[in-house]
Structure 1
Amino acid sequence: MSPLRSTAVAAALLITTLAPALPASATKTQVSTAYELPGDRVYPEGIAVDPRTGDLYAGSYTDGTVFKMTPGHRVAKVFLPAGADGRDTANGLKVDRAGRLWVTDSTTGVSVYDTRSRRLLATFVVPGKGATFVNDLAITPDGSAYLTDSVRSVVYRVTPKQLARAAGGRATLTPRFDLNKVLDPREPGAFTLNGIVADPSGRYLLTVDMTGADLYRLDPASGAIRRVALTGGDMLHADGLELRGGRLWAAHNVDNVISRWKVTGNGSAARVERRLTDEALQVPTTLVFGNGTLHVVRSQFDKGGPLGEGTPQIPFSIAAVRGI
């Protein structure tokens, strides 16, 4: 791990401010192991589901390995090996409707692969030479990908036309949203934007400021940015997000919490409905619904990973969480 990534992750997760308590859920919840990831230094970070096949993909933060998980098979297989195409990390992952797997690398940008052939289709790199941390991504119905940069506090966009032009080669990411003027004051170099999700209708995106504990609504058409009104809790330490059926799920990493929110139709406000706190989540970094189940990444970043010393529980795994 480079000093940049180590410092950035520490800034992202080791935050001492305490968030207001969220209401506990009266519904019985259950956390179990859905898939196992081979390897003793995996430290997974991202996860995605192929909407056509139900296959899931998870990425290793420490070396960039991408694993493929097939329903009915408990142990994942390596889909893309460590260091493939110069990729050092695998953070945010997403599979689009055309069967392309998007994989972000924190210090370079995003690579796009064909899930059938595993062929690299295109690579997009961050502009300039300043500090950067490309983190998560979402894809809107028109096929555009939006990627958060946790250090620069911007959201990049890759349109279908840009992807077509970059076919077989490299191109530069273009910022679409700059949130530096709307975010709360923060220490230089602190992590801000993390998880991002797209409304199924394409009207808006939601992205979280994990340090400022806020949620922001982004309008792809106009470029407008507004803070979402949160009731009953906040987004401190929130990492990955999942949005479906008017509800938003957030993984609060170092808190070992998953929160569920009811979002208004236009995405301008959200109210917390449930909260699950469980050490069995093992520092959850993100989550996705696949095959009717909420799958949660157990990063174990605090067990000999980016956040601390010790020995992780082997095998690394993806959890199935029910009741939240």
Structure 2
Amino acid sequence: MAEIGIVGAGILGLLSARRLAAQGHQVTLWSAPQRHPPASWAGGGILSALFPWRYPDALTRLTRHALADYQQLSAALAQEGWPGLELVESGLLMPGVADTATALSWAARWDLAARVVSAAEHCGRFHDEHALWIPSVGQLRNPRALKALAASSRRAGVHTVDEPVQRFVAAGAGWAVQGAQQSRRVDQLLLCSGAGTAGLVQRSTGRQLPLFPARGEMLCYAPGIEPPPCIILREQGYVIPRADGTLLVGSTLTESADGRPTAGGGRVLQELAETLWPPLAGRLPFAQWAGIRPGCRASVPILSELPEAPGVFIASGHFRNGLVAAPASAALITALMTGTAAPFDPAPYALSSSSSPP
């Protein structure tokens, strides 16, 4: 079996490591200590793209089975003795959506339940405005999923190197991964280090990828506030009710590699919170944080072998959809790496031999 290196210990890297280790490959996961949390830790955990009908079908293929995929993962982790992922089928209510006809057509094509309802009838806190309701949308507690996956991977034999990767260079028929203090040779290499993937590829090959860092900020409100009956999404943002009574509000979006939360972002989110859910008016959050998303100039992520570096694969650019797309992305990229049948057409996510977006 091949020795495989994975750069990035977010949800996608961990899921890929788990799949490859289960096939008998020797897997080394390079997990650099982060000053600021990556998107996998910082996101809200909604298992749907936001306004999913506005994306290409290629993204829907990555996201449509997310709830079922995570339910299977949660059951498998529970059999190993790890705590559950706090999966909840919350449903998603979108008051005031203008393009409901397009949304309903999209849902029908993908065999997803969706209907237009009165926001006031669905939730008495709202005015009588139309809303789109998708009942099958779930959420999970993403930090819990990451901790369980990391522990499960270690038990499965995945070796972790806790240092940043500087570059990768050709080494015979494989590649040498050069860290800050050590180098390790691998037969294949998977790069899924979020927004940092672009810099690593450019340093190692000169190729410029259409990726950019995007800071997203979130607020958390303590239990004791009346929660909404489901996830509420408007054009400006969303509020997520957790099972323990906490409420998450998100998110800002700024092109920046600085992962520190900002006072301005906090003010914007507090104003947004009162618009999204009236019981939050006058309340103060007890936590604010930020994470760096891997933005992409293209409308779908990159899931592809690097043309000028055979054996090096990229899985990045998921932007705001990393968590929801991670199980399907891991299934596709690991199939490409091992030469097994792809679960769906990989062409929309491929890099060409040029530096243009996929």
Q: Which has the higher contact order (CA 8 A, sep 6+)?
A: 2
Structure with more of its chain in strand, by fraction: 1
Report the structure number with the largest CA radius of gyration. 2
Structure with more of its chain in helix, by fraction: 2
Structure-2-length-normalised TM-score: 0.24
